Chains A and B, each alone.
Chain A
Amino acid sequence: GQNIDQPTEMTATEGAIVQINCTYQTSGFNGLFWYQQHAGEAPTFLSYNVLDGLEEKGRFSSFLSRSKGYSYLLLKELQMKDSASYLCAVRGRSTGFQKLVFGTGTRLLVSP
């Protein structure tokens, strides 16, 4: 099966940088995804890592280390609208390479 851990809640200041960590255990790893979810809304795709290293997309970057079962999402130049939950999800052989298994999410609060 899968086990995904991420912090429950984080706070940061507008304009700052924040790093949200995710550790996972899965068999036959085939990709790690980050989604953003505002309260009462559907998750929206942010990033996808399948190889080790850093993927950068504007203010958001995501890093993966498969040997350590570890990823992080880096948010730069934080804005108030970045206050949301950030969901880490993995896909693996035990999921048939299809479904995503999500963590419980990290609630990020950005203050002025």
Chain B
Amino acid sequence: DTGVSQDPRHKITKRGQNVTFRCDPISEHNRLYWYRQTLGQGPEFLTYFQNEAQLEKSRLLSDRFSAERPKGSFSTLEIQRTEQGDSAMYLCASSPEADEQYFGPGTRLTVT
């Protein structure tokens, strides 16, 4: 499969716990994006990498959120001290240049 993959697909965690999600982009894509989507809304931008450099970060991304792309390939998104408001679908997308973005299947996070 040559699409964007994300792991895990579902995560249930208790409030206050830390969680980490992984995204593997399409191999030749140097741009990687994280979005968050809640029910009935469109995806909201969180952060963007070009290769290993994190070039943009949304104000939505509080200091509890951190993202990395250490070797310019896969990326991780960590949420520390999760809150119920963090419950959402976390989507990863990649693109070759400034072209259309291809989305992965998402990680659905439920914070209880």
- Which A residues contact B (CB, under 8 angstroms)? 30, 33, 35, 41-45, 48, 87, 89, 91, 95-105
CB <8 Å contact, A97 and B98: yes
What number of residue pairs across chains A and B have CB atoms under 8 A from each other?
54
CB <8 Å contact, A42 and B42: no
For residue A95, give the distance in angstroms from its CB to the closest CB of chain B: 8
Q: How far is the CA of A41 from the CA of B43 in the complex (A)?
A: 12
| Given known A-B contacts A98-B48, A102-B42, A33 and B100 have beta carbons under 8 A apart | yes
CB <8 Å contact, A105 and B56: no
Could you list 17 A-B pairs, sorted by A, with CB under 8 Å?
A: A42-B103, A42-B104, A42-B106, A45-B100, A45-B102, A87-B42, A87-B43, A95-B45, A96-B56, A99-B33, A99-B58, A100-B45, A101-B45, A102-B43, A104-B42, A105-B40, A105-B42
Most buried by A among B48, B55, B98, B101: B101
Contact with A along B14-58 (1 / 0, CB 8 A): 000000000000000001010000001111110010000001101
